[in-house]
Structure 1
Amino acid sequence: MSDLQFELPDVGEGLTEAEIVAWKVAPGDAVSVNQVLVEIETAKSLVELPSPFAGTVGALLVEEGQTVDVGTPIISVSTGGGAATAEPTAPAPAVVESEEATLAADTAASVSPAEEPRPGAVLVGYGSAGSTSSRRRGRGATPIVEPASPAVTPQPPVRRQPPSSIPAASALPVIAKPPIRKLAKDLEVDLTAIEGTGLAGEITRDDVIREASQASVFRNIETPEWADEREERIPVKGVRKAIATAMTRSAFTAPHVSLFVDVDATRTMEFVKRLKNSTDFAGVKVSPLLIMAKAMIWAVRRNPTVNSEWTDQEIIVRHYVNLGVAAATPRGLIVPNVKEAQAMSLLELARALETLTLTARDGKTPPADQQNGTITVTNIGVFGMDTGTPILNPGEVGIVALGTIKQKPWVVDGEVRSRFVTTLGASFDHRVVDGDVASRFLADVASIIEEPALLLD
């Protein structure tokens, strides 16, 4: 019989510390090789650490909520003769269990009732849509208690909404096909609160997704009840600490220059509608952000400097596009990216964005997907924002914000007409991108939003 200590490993993210979130075992428990011992939180993600050997848990050497350096012993395990052992393997990202796990609409811009967003993670600007989450409790361990994060007990999820966010349930029967009912159940949407837009009042997929989007946004902005304490103190750690460090470094290192332009997006909205009705795109989520992503790739090819990196010694111009998409999750902002996006067809890009969104929503985005981005798009329109000044993702020199798309008066051929209009906002690192290049790039993006047929050139 021997006592072995398991040290906090380097999880391959280039990080030096992690927080012990939740123990999955207790002293006296028998453990096997690769059984999950603990859930940790790094600056990038939640990770489950498997046991490298079999035996009996002796002691938990670090308490939940404590941040420790890589190499620190965190648990001891007593092994008998011949006990199986294994080299520690790189842990897989954990699935975050949270009552806020259903995120707001996916990579769709916030649009008028004529065009609703699709499901998935909210893609927004820099800043979290809320960091409320719940921790799982390990056996025999003291639960973590955070002011904004009550522990989750095994019970059906309760969907919180503002008083006026959802109309009273109708007495009329709900008309919805089984797949739509399953989608509503998965997204925690009350079908009786939805007014169907299909034939004979049938509830469609878009109806459910729109309702889920609105509910998630309301959850993010919901005002909590006043607590007895006059102040609330939230430790700066994990993802929030990483966001603060990265944004401060970006804002005060790279001299930002920002540009804005209003765009007639009517033909983009029409194009999105045609794609949704196309058999080639059946079962694939399509939104205006897909066209926005393709527009940025097209514009990068014409203006490669905006797809660069500044290193003090040299400017690295990348002739490939790893397109970052800012995603607000309950744990905070992450920016996963679609690798080699320039080589993808429109259909392939739509599938890649869907996978990226669903992975972020499920809390499974691996660190590798958040690294080596070359340029970023952020969708602030999902919150109804017209525009904003985005901060550059560290290591990049360009970022574009897509505002809400809604009907406005617009002059066409000398006549005022109702058109779908959006505002694009972009920021650039002025050390690399001069004003003329920045202007041409944003104008190129706008030209695709105004006329998607240019993508066929």
Structure 2
Amino acid sequence: MAAAPQRYREFKMPDVGEGLTEAEILKWHVQPGDTVSDGQVVVEVETAKAAVELPIPFDGTVRELLWAEGDTVDVGSPIITVDTTPGAPEEAPAAPAPAPQAAAEPAPEAAGEPAPAPAAEQPAARQPVLVGYGVSTAATKRRPRKPVAAVPEPAPAPEAAPAPPAPPAPAGDGRPLAKPPVRKLAKDLGIDLRAVRPTGPDGTVTREDVQAAAAPAPEAAPAPAPQPEEAVPGQQPAERPGERRVPIRGVRKATAQAMVDSAFTAPHVTEFITVDVTRTMKLVARLKDDPDLAGVRINPLLIIARALLLALRRNPDAHAAWDEANQEIVYKETVNLGIAAATPRGLLVPNIKDAGRKSLAELATALSDLVTTAREGRTTPADMQGGTVTITNVGVFGVDSGTPILNPGESAILAVGAIKAQPWVHKGKVKPRQVTTLALSFDHRLIDGALGSRLLADVAAVLEHPRRLLTWG
């Protein structure tokens, strides 16, 4: 009896990051019938804003994919079933038909078969390992339950007609037959699967069965409007003319939750400063021609990042975190600099670990790699954990400024506006100069107005006179 559980193995959704509870199936790389080997990538999932490829830890043949692309799966839930001994026969019983009532009877000794063959076949026909994921060929041939409940002789008593609503008895482990997504839906809706009338093959409870059981009674309110705002949980509301509904999942879901957590936890303050960055733009042009930096991507963001790192070094109290549980302020020495990157999948904020200790060339390389990796969808959960302060460059979209929301757990975020030629008073005369607006949002529990103003002013001072990169460094 122990052979069946070992043959069909389940691969469960792992926790690919710290504290993650669910992941979305992005793409299956295998299909039922495919051969897989230990370490082979079988599925790509998205969680905590990162796309992660999952390798399977054993060999075999894919029997069933338990979730579809686009489904959100809880960590620990089975996602794929694999036959680890694909060469072995399915062990279908030769003659299950003689006594259908005996098949429904759980006690084998009550049947009283004269020959030992049926008793030997009994464990193979029940196969409890497949409950919830589809039944084997043996179980399919062995369950003539619906013909029995069809009431072939209705003449004696009309009361026999209501018998079909009773769900068939569960097989093997006492649970009704249903796939994991259907079980989760029933749990979310508070529906007892044992009370649901199954309509699927071999008495399997389907998603439609659960939704039908959860639907309100038709006589409750036939005349009034159906009130779509109070639809049963788990049911997709119908789209109205002129609108389009998209499930909240993946990057959008993670970003929304993070922004809500931050906005309603940390009291935000945003300060602005407009600065002449003409000298910084000239420095960028010179660095691009520097042979020592050949092959390194040089842009204004590099100098802005360097300026923020220098300003944090001059104002270390601004680099901190609020520990609510322990009622402590945690001052941090290592700067993990987050860079907001727009990608086809949404906004990602990976960070450069220990950015403050990198040289200009190392920082430039790290920035380039970070953005490239994010846009190619190869950012890992580790790349986005542990950030301490962030830069968001809204200027690339032609925007002058904004009021950015902090990433949860960080003390500050700097928004950089578009750099434009504007009339500016320079050395007593109005001249066209390269000008931008910086906006610094910070956690007012950690940073008061004076400290926040000094931090922002120091960033602006470096960008206005970039020689301070040397004199202040």
Asked if these proteins are the same fold (TM beyond 0.5), I'd say: yes
Aligned residues: 314
Aligned residues of 2:26 and 2:46 also touching (Cα < 8 A):
yes
The one of 261, 281, 289 equivalent to 1:277 is 289
- Structure 1 equivalent of residue 311 of structure 2: 299
Which aligned pairs between 1:176-187 and structure 2 lie closer than 5 A?
none
Per-residue CA shift, 1:31-62, capped at 9, x if unaligned?
12222211212132111211211111111122
Looking at structure 2, the residues matched to 380 and 327 of structure 1 have their Cα atoms a distance apart, in angstroms, of 10
Looking at structure 2, the residues matched to 262 and 12 of structure 1 have their Cα atoms a distance apart, in angstroms, of 40
- Structure 2 equivalent of residue 452 of structure 1: 466
Q: Partner letter of residue 432 of structure 1?
A: L
- Structure 1 equivalent of residue 20 of structure 2: 15
- Structure 2 equivalent of residue 31 of structure 1: 36
Shift of 1:413: 2.0
Shift of 1:82: 11
Looking at structure 2, the residues matched to 34 and 440 of structure 1 have their Cα atoms a distance apart, in angstroms, of 52
1:345 has 2:339 as partner: no
Looking at structure 2, the residues matched to 447 and 21 of structure 1 have their Cα atoms a distance apart, in angstroms, of 46
Per-residue CA shift, 1:217-260, capped at 9, x if unaligned?
xxxxxxxxxx9952110111111111111101111111111100
Q: Highest relative contact order (Cα 8 Å, sep 6+), 1 or 2? A: 1
The one of 380, 385, 401 equivalent to 2:415 is 401
Aligned residues of 1:322 and 1:341 also touching (Cα < 8 A):
yes
Per-residue CA shift, 1:159-206, capped at 9, x if unaligned?
xxxxxxxxxxxxxxxxxxxxxxxxxxxxxxxxxxxxxxxxxxxxxxxx
Per-residue CA shift, 1:134-176, capped at 9, x if unaligned?
xxxxxxxxxxxxxxxxxxxxxxxxxxxxxxxxxxxxxxxxxxx
Which aligned pairs between 1:41-440 and structure 2 lie closer than 5 A?
41-80=46-85, 230-312=242-324, 313-440=327-454
- Structure 2 equivalent of residue 93 of structure 1: none
Q: 1:408 to 1:81 in 2, by over 3 A?
A: closer
Aligned residues of 2:51 and 2:380 also touching (Cα < 8 A):
no
Q: Partner letter of residue 446 of structure 1?
A: A
Aligned residues of 2:400 and 2:437 also touching (Cα < 8 A):
yes
The SS at the match of 2:264 is helix
TM-score by length of 1: 0.67
Looking at structure 2, the residues matched to 16 and 6 of structure 1 have their Cα atoms a distance apart, in angstroms, of 16
Looking at structure 2, the residues matched to 406 and 12 of structure 1 have their Cα atoms a distance apart, in angstroms, of 41
Aligned residues of 1:247 and 1:394 also touching (Cα < 8 A):
yes
Looking at structure 1, the residues matched to 388 and 26 of structure 2 have their Cα atoms a distance apart, in angstroms, of 32
The SS at the match of 1:46 is strand
Looking at structure 2, the residues matched to 15 and 240 of structure 1 have their Cα atoms a distance apart, in angstroms, of 16
Name the % identity: 60
Shift of 1:81: 9.1
Looking at structure 1, the residues matched to 23 and 388 of structure 2 have their Cα atoms a distance apart, in angstroms, of 27
Shift of 1:268: 0.1
Two-structure CA RMSD over aligned residues (Å)? 1.8
Q: 1:228 to 1:316 in 2, by over 3 A?
A: closer
Aligned residues of 2:52 and 2:380 also touching (Cα < 8 A):
no
The SS at the match of 1:316 is strand
Kindly name which structure, 1 or 2, has the bigger radius of gyration based on alpha carbons: 2
The SS at the match of 1:376 is strand
Moved over 2 A (4+): 80-83
Looking at structure 1, the residues matched to 40 and 241 of structure 2 have their Cα atoms a distance apart, in angstroms, of 41
Aligned residues of 2:288 and 2:294 also touching (Cα < 8 A):
yes
- Structure 1 equivalent of residue 121 of structure 2: none
- Structure 2 equivalent of residue 40 of structure 1: 45
